[in-house]
Amino acid sequence: MLVSNTYGNALKAQILSGPVNVSLSAPTVFASDDCSFSTITHQQTFTPGNCPTNYTLVNTWTATDQCGNTTTASQTITVADTTGQL
């Protein structure tokens, strides 16, 4: 996930000001080949870091067609608290 510098600074300010609720939405995904249309599944894995505000999320999408062919795509989101408290 890429975020512009301007938006990143605004997001950082909101996070530093206290708890923040974040909502991400996935785009609509379609997949097809010569065999058939595919079924797409999504799995999210949460891995905690060395403190409560550090963690990694991995989103994995798998498309499987009716012939059993599969392909996957993944997105990794790493959250790291790099600002000390006074």
Distance CA 53, CA 71 (A): 32
Which tens digits make up the pLDDT trace of 4-62? 556 666 766 766 666 656 555 555 566 666 777 778 888 999 998 888 788 888 989 88
Lowest mean pLDDT among 54-58, 63-67, 82-86: 82-86
pLDDT value at position 32? 61
The pTM is what? 0.56
Mean pLDDT, range 60-79, rounded to an integer: 86
Phi, psi for 3 (deg, rounded to 5): -130, 135
CB neighbours of residue 9 within 10 Å: 11
Largest CA distance in the chain: 60
pLDDT value at position 37? 73
